[in-house]
Structure 1
Amino acid sequence: MKQVMSNKLIIAMYTLPALILILALVYVPIVMTGYYGLMEWDGIGAKTFIGLENYIGLMQDAKFWDSAYHSFLLAAFSTLSLVGYLVISLVLANKLKGSELLRKIYLIPMLLSSVAIAQLWLKIYDPNNGMLNSLLEIFGVENTPTWLADPKLVLISIFIAIIWQYAGFYIIIYSAALKGIPESLVEAARIDGANPIQIAYKVKLPLIAGVIKVTIVLAIVGSLKYFDLIYVMTGGGPNGASEVLASYMYKEAFASYNFGYGSAVGFALLVICLIITWLVRKLTASNEEIQY
């Protein structure tokens, strides 16, 4: 077996199908998206080469920048929510009574599709019969908010739904990382007189720093290209108050039949994701590797 796996031809035969699939499903569409961004095209008829007009138009498009701003707000909010997920994971890692049940409850949103979650939160936010406004009325609030119709409230309302949707995903990642920490290290810190907060901050967090960096990248990039739940709940409204880059790209390409401009938006989104990922990796880079 060792002799077979040292044969470069056999290695190439094993890896070639995967490389072809990656090339066909990832890199070719990326190149084609950038290429379509150079065209004036409705997605059906003949293409007209217009050079960088679409990309120059992006720089002057107020709707594009508003959508980008909302996407960055979502990315910032999602990154901050990681602190909450991490705290919950640290608490559950202490083997408290009922922690296993809570861990399973947090996973429930992962079993639902984004469309189902959107429909659920639409019912919660319903201004007339929704659970949230009904609770506010019980506590004496007369003029209950129209959560998804108010430009000042729509983003925070959507962000709360997204936090609920991804809670289980990040908690299970952090919980798995915390379980990998040797109990002997925690016990040694406890014998030295460290309290639970000190153990969490000075022992556990440094040991899972690599996992935390990965989740930061996942949260930011995932937020920048987030689409489905927002589109189902608000469609980018009211009046563009919840429009994000992915929904703006969809509307331009498939609703307005401006496929060339929509491709330019999509390619710009890709570039933004790459730059943000590079910046996060640079800012969180460390030459120290903790061994245990």
Structure 2
Amino acid sequence: MDKVMSNKGIIALYVLPSLLLILGIVYIPIVLTGYYGLHEWNGIGALKFIGLDNYKELVSDKAFWSSAGHSLLLAVFSAISLIVYLIVAMVLAARLKGVNFYRKIYLIPMLLSSVAIAQLWLKIYHPTNGILNSVLESLGVANPPAWLAEPSLVLFALFIPILWQYAGFYILIYYAALKNIPTSLEEAAKIDGANAFQIAFRIKLPLVMEVVKVTVVLAVVGSLKYFDLIYVMTDGGPNGSSEVMASYMYHTAFRTYDFGYGSAIGFFLLIICLVATWLIRKATATKDTIQYS
């Protein structure tokens, strides 16, 4: 076995299928997207090379930057929501009675498709028959808003199901990280007189901070390229009030058949995600990593 694993030719043979798969579905499409962004193309006819004109247009495109602002706002809310998810995970990891039941409850949104979640929340937000407005009317609100039709409200109304959809995912990650902390550390802290708050934020939080950093990257980058639920619920409306970068790219390419400009938007979105990842890692970089094992 050692002879086989020390043979570079055999190692390359094992790696080759995965490498070809990654090249085929990740790197080659990225290169092609950047290449198409240099052309004027309707998706069917011949490519017409126009250089950086699409990218120059993108810089001055107010509709794109408006959608970028919406995506950034979603990214901020997603990052802030991680605090709530971490607190919930700490409660679940505290060996409370019935914790397994609650852990399964939080995972339910992960089992549903985005389309199913969108249809559920469309019913909740329905202006006349929706559960939310019915509750508000029962509480004395005379004219509850049409949540998905009000330009000033629609974006925040969409954030709620989006954050709810991924709550179980992040809670599960934090829960696993917290359960991996040796119980002896918590017991020693209790002997030294530490209360639950001090144990949570002075012992547990520093030990799972590396996991928190990863989830911040996942939440921010995932928000910047988010598409499906917004597309199903509002399709970017009304009048672009809920348009995000990914939906704007889709509308440009598949509604106006400007695949060249759509490709430029997609490639620029990739750059924004890479820059955001680098900035987050740079901002959260630490020289020392706490070890507890």
Q: Which interval holds the TM-score relative to the shorter structure?
A: over 0.9
- The alignment-based identity, stated in percent, is 68
Q: Quote the RMSD (CA, aligned, Å).
A: 0.6
Structure 2: how far apart are the matches of 1:145 and 1:152?
11
1:90 alignment counterpart: 90
Structure 2: how far apart are the matches of 1:120 and 1:243?
21
Structure 1: how far apart are the matches of 2:97 and 2:15?
47
1:19 alignment counterpart: 19
2:136 alignment counterpart: 136
1:127 alignment counterpart: 127
Structure 2: how far apart are the matches of 1:130 and 1:98?
32
Residue by residue, what CA displacement relative to the aligned partner does 1:241-275 show, whole Å, maximum 9, x if unpaired? Answer: 00000000000001110000000000000000000
- Alignment of structure 1 residues 12-51 onto 2, 5 Å: 12-51=12-51
Structure 1: how far apart are the matches of 2:166 and 2:22?
27
Structure 1: how far apart are the matches of 2:68 and 2:157?
18
Structure 1: how far apart are the matches of 2:179 and 2:2?
34
1:217 alignment counterpart: 217
Q: CA deviation at 1:142?
A: 0.5
1:230 aligns with 2:230: yes
2:194 alignment counterpart: 194
Runs of 4+ in 1 over 4 A off after TM superposition: none
- The code of the aligned residue for 1:75 comes to A
Structure 1: how far apart are the matches of 2:193 and 2:85?
27
Which secondary structure does the structure 2 equivalent of 1:13 belong to? helix
> Any gaps of 5 or more consecutive residues in structure 2?
none
Which secondary structure does the structure 2 equivalent of 1:107 belong to? helix
1:103 aligns with 2:106: no
Q: CA deviation at 1:76?
A: 0.4
- Alignment of structure 1 residues 150-169 onto 2, 5 Å: 150-169=150-169
Structure 2: how far apart are the matches of 1:151 and 1:2?
64
Structure 2: how far apart are the matches of 1:191 and 1:145?
54
Q: CA deviation at 1:171?
A: 0.4
Q: CA deviation at 1:98?
A: 2.0
Residue by residue, what CA displacement relative to the aligned partner does 1:49-105 show, whole Å, maximum 9, x if unpaired? Answer: 111000000011000000000000000000000000000000111111222111110
Structure 2: how far apart are the matches of 1:198 and 1:245?
41
Structure 1: how far apart are the matches of 2:109 and 2:161?
10
1:245 aligns with 2:245: yes
Residue by residue, what CA displacement relative to the aligned partner does 1:188-245 show, whole Å, maximum 9, x if unpaired? Answer: 0111111011001011011111110000000000000000000000000010000000
TM-score when normalising by structure 2: 0.99
Structure 1: how far apart are the matches of 2:65 and 2:210?
33
Which secondary structure does the structure 1 equivalent of 2:274 belong to? helix
Q: CA deviation at 1:163?
A: 1.0
Structure 2: how far apart are the matches of 1:234 and 1:75?
19
Q: CA deviation at 1:2?
A: 1.6
Structure 2: how far apart are the matches of 1:209 and 1:62?
38
1:117 alignment counterpart: 117
TM-score when normalising by structure 1: 0.99
Structure 2: how far apart are the matches of 1:44 and 1:64?
24
Structure 2: how far apart are the matches of 1:290 and 1:186?
15
Structure 1: how far apart are the matches of 2:95 and 2:148?
39
Structure 1: how far apart are the matches of 2:18 and 2:108?
33
> Any gaps of 5 or more consecutive residues in structure 1?
none
Structure 2: how far apart are the matches of 1:11 and 1:207?
36
Structure 1: how far apart are the matches of 2:111 and 2:27?
30
Q: CA deviation at 1:40?
A: 0.5
Structure 2: how far apart are the matches of 1:157 and 1:246?
18
Structure 2: how far apart are the matches of 1:53 and 1:218?
32
1:63 aligns with 2:63: yes
Which secondary structure does the structure 1 equivalent of 2:129 belong to? coil
Residue by residue, what CA displacement relative to the aligned partner does 1:109-147 show, whole Å, maximum 9, x if unpaired? Answer: 011000000000000000000000000011000110110
- The code of the aligned residue for 1:130 comes to G
